[in-house]
Chain A
Amino acid sequence: MYVIVVGGGKIGINLARELMQKGHEVTLVEQNRRRYSVLEPQLEHVVHLGDGTELWVLERAGIERADMVIAVTGDDEDNIIISQVAREKYGREKIIARCNNIRNMEHFDLLNIKPVISSTDLILRLIEHEVPQHGLVHLLKLQAEDIEIIEVEVSAGSRAANKRVEEIDLPEGGLIIALLRDRAGIVPRGDTVIEVGDEVLLVLNPGLEEGITALFAAPEESFA
């Protein structure tokens, strides 16, 4: 595969190295001269000096034949422009963009750029996973494919408590993939019993969260 990585910071350089290790052809584009002079001895012809939001730089990097374009600069507006140009001018289909500031995620959404990775967002989800406040935790979202993995704690008195997995009346588009119990992950079978306190991992089409909460988290009245 031929991959163009724009942004020669820590993420870019590590990505470039890993991709080359896996046997792919890579070009890394970095606009800062000083940073470039640090990268050049290590990467030689693989690194290009230039502003990856400029058409001639992308063309020099061979964007017309790139299988994948990855925009991981430290500036969200640059990552947005790179993604748009790659898609709309050069017709590239596989584009991954990095979002540094979570508040800019909505701009990526508005301009239909996906998948978008924000490390802050990922870490926040893990924090929620470690210390769930209440309700569902969204662990992972595959935006382009529109599918999520969520986690929910089974509360006492809920419909799912003490039932076997096969007895759970899940909505169409949901599937239980694991139970987390006592810091261990169990991949259940149909006859595995779900216990109060289990964290249930489900893969889900979006929009079904309410039905899931209703099944696994007890209704408000039961706390009377």
Chain B
Amino acid sequence: MTDAAEKTLVCIVCPTGCRLYVDETLDGLAVRGAGCERGRQYATSEFSSPVRIFTGTVRVRGGRARVVPVRSDVPVERDVLMDVARLTAKIVAEAPVDAGAVLAELPGLAKLVATGAVERG
């Protein structure tokens, strides 16, 4: 009870990168070192259930480029990133692809949104 290990992490919410120290206490999580409220919330969520935006590329058929850059529309749990990546690898989009287009829905995970455009060609 008295020697709960303190977890340290670097906040990624903004470029400052505050060093955060999270303690699990009887009264809940204690967060030290956060420069702002968003950082405190980040520390709390990282401790319990870390999430990440997924980014990558999707294959394109019939376009001027072979791939189009994509992102998940919402953050996904950090531990399922590789699953999202594997599912993304199976998708082939048809040119033309518009920036902002939803290329696929990964059930229970996220939608894949194109972040660039690919013309037909």
Co-complex (A, B): no
| Residues on A facing B (Cβ under 8 Å) | none
| Residues on B facing A (Cβ under 8 Å) | none
